[in-house]
Amino acid sequence: QPAPSGPPNALQGFATNRNEPIRINSDTLEVKDKEKQAVFAGKVVVTQGDTTLKAPQLLVYYDGDVAAGVQGSAQPTESSKIRKLEATGGVVVQTKDQTATGDTGVFEMKTNTVTMTGNPVVLTQGPNVIRGKRLVVDLTTGVSRFEGGRVESLIVPNSVKPDPAAQPRR
Amino acid sequence: MNRHLPPDDFDRPDIATFVGRGAPDFRKAKRHSARVRLVKRVLPVAILVAVVLMITVPLVRNLSMKVELPFDLGTLSLSGTRLTMEAPKLSGFTDDNRAYNISAGSAIQDVTKPDLIGLTDITARLELANKGWATVKSHTGSLDTKTQFITLSDGVDLATNGGYAGKMQDAAVDVKAGSVTTDHPVVLTYLDGKLVSDRLKITDRGSRAYFEGNVQLDFRLSSLPKSDPPAPAPQPIVKP
């Protein structure tokens, strides 16, 4: 499990507990198999381990054919691969004491990266705050970086204590 | 064979043989030739019929074995105006020629309202687009042949060989429009993933599904197919 580096943020929570079951709650879910899209809408809450994501809407782009799975044509394993996930309309991600907020969050399965964009994207950890335009977190390496535009941060001295719990669980 | 001799012929045997009404030998000969004429006509017909029978009977017998009657009436009983059919079976092909067959414990039809058929213990099996199949089982249901509307109730189970399974309390199926709606909680499972919602409306022959009300989806990334090789480990599919 790579130790997350770069600005600590809630998104790395997804890197640490990646094998945990995922639960998505929402008011409605619409699966449009022709467009290969599924749209969770209405107070969407996604939880995985101790990380939660809240957004008004979550779009799931998938390949293959859910209907094929239903139609029974594809073998169960490869029937519907999720290609991309997009949370829009104001996204809040929380892991323990860290939160990350932004306008949209896009997760690319292929590159296994999470990109959060916002005006600005705000990361907080305890009293510390970092703001920027685009935050990219590589979930395989756990590295996250701010890109595109000025990054402003406010770090309160000795507020970042190396608390063991923050270390990714082995 | 004893011959009946009319009395006046006793004393004049020589003339009797020439009398117009015919002496016994002549009548015997006439009967004989009548019989011969009869046989001449009947025999060929009999042979013809025999030959025809010899061909058609085996043909029909093995033909019926191959052609399974699309519907099997089972036992039929009429009580008052209600016609009950035990173990009806119906099979056929949809318009995009996928085979389906539906069987039920019993089918009840009110003669006064012939369009509506009540069914119990329904099992329907539908061949799906690509060699897959789906089965629908339901305890009770009704079929409206006019509007082609099927309602299933008291617990509906759905399963496909693709690994999907579904449980619903009831379902209203509009065969023509290809839509299924239910206003009661639905549970869909796929591998170890589970999707629950209060209402479901499937339209467009199954290519659009709209779940509504407390939608909850549980799954594990490991159950999802691995994405392409560059990603070494399964990643959390959710991100901010």
| pLDDT range class, residue B186, cuts 50, 70, 90 | very high
Q: Do A114 and B240 touch (CB under 8 A)?
A: yes
Are the Cβ atoms of A25 and B164 closer than 8 angstroms? no
Question: What are the chain B neighbours of A19 within 8 Å (beta carbons)?
Answer: 220-222, 234
Q: What ipTM, to 2 d.p.?
A: 0.77
Res B178 pLDDT > 50: yes
Q: What is the mean pLDDT of chain B?
A: 78
pLDDT given at position A88: 94
In A, which residues are within 8 Å of B128 by CB distance?
A: 70-73
A19–B220 C-beta distance less than 8 A? yes
Q: How does B94-108 read in b/e, with b if 16+ C-beta sit within 10 Å?
A: eeeeeebebbbebbb
User: Residue A166, SS3?
Assistant: helix
Q: A73–B237: do the CB atoms touch at under 8 Å?
A: no
Chain A residues with beta carbon closer than 8 angstroms to that of B99: none
Smallest CA–CA separation between A113 and chain B, in Å? 9
Q: Scanning every residue of chain B, which has its alpha carbon at the shortest distance from the alpha carbon of A59?
A: B238
Out of A126-140, B55-69, B217-231, pick the least confident: B217-231
User: Does pLDDT of A152 surpass 70?
Assistant: yes
pLDDT for the residue A71: 46
Average pLDDT over residues A78-98: 82
Q: What is the pLDDT of residue B197?
A: 94
pLDDT > 60? residue A73:
no
Contact A111, A79 (CB under 8 A): no
B36 membership: H or E segment, kind and range: helix B24-66
pTM of this prediction exceeds 0.90? no
Coil, strand or helix at B53: helix
pLDDT for B82: 84
Residue of higher predicted confidence among B75 and B106: B106
Mean pLDDT within A103-128:
88
CA distance A85 to chain B (A): 7
3-class SS at A108? Answer: strand
Mean pLDDT of B200-223: 84
**8 Å CB contact of A28 and B211:** yes
* Weakest mean pLDDT among A4-18, A22-36, B29-43: A4-18
Q: Which of B126, B227, B238 to mutate to test the interface with A (most CBs of A within 10 A)?
A: B238
For residue A98, pLDDT over 60 is answered with: yes
DSSP assignment, residue A6?
Answer: S
User: How large is the average pLDDT for residues A127-140?
Assistant: 88
Query: From the list A21, A83, A116, which residue is nearest B240 (CB)?
Result: A116
Position B67 scores a pLDDT of 52
Region B105-113 average pLDDT = 87
The alpha carbons of chain A give a radius of gyration, in whole angstroms, of 17
Query: Does the pLDDT value for residue A40 go beyond 80?
Result: yes
The residue of chain B nearest to residue A67, with distances taken between CA atoms, is B207
Task: Provide the residue count of chain A.
Answer: 170
Alpha-carbon Rg for chain B in angstroms: 38
- Of the candidates B119, B185, B105, B127, which has an alpha carbon nearest to the alpha carbon of residue B150? B119
Contact B126, B136 (CB under 8 A): yes
Query: CA-nearest residue of chain B to A116?
Result: B240
Residue A15: is its pLDDT beyond 50?
yes
Task: Pick the closest to residue B201 from A27, A30, A69 (CA basis).
Answer: A30
Structural tokens at position B14 = 């020589």
Rounded to a whole number of angstroms, the distance from the CA of A20 to the nearest CA of chain B is: 7
What tens digit of pLDDT does each residue of B129-171 get?
A: 667 788 889 999 998 888 888 899 999 998 887 778 899 999 9
CA of B83 vs chain A CAs: smallest distance (Å):
36
In the block, tokens 């009429």 appear at: B78
Q: Which of A25, A70, A124, A143 to mutate to test the interface with B (most CBs of B within 10 A)?
A: A70
Q: How far is A49 from chain B (nearest CA, A)?
A: 10
Residues of A in contact with B214 (CB under 8 A): 25, 27
Q: Do A22 and B212 touch (CB under 8 A)?
A: no
Residue (of B162, B163, B156) closest to B181 by Cα position: B156
Distance, in Å, from the CA atom of A39 to the CA atom of B195, rounded to the nearest integer, reads 14
Q: Which of B131, B164, B240 sits opposite A91 (nearest CB)?
A: B240
Question: Does B13 score more than 60 pLDDT?
Answer: no
- Residue B162 CB: number of other CB atoms within 10 A? 26
Q: What is the arithmetic mean of pLDDT over A139-166?
A: 77
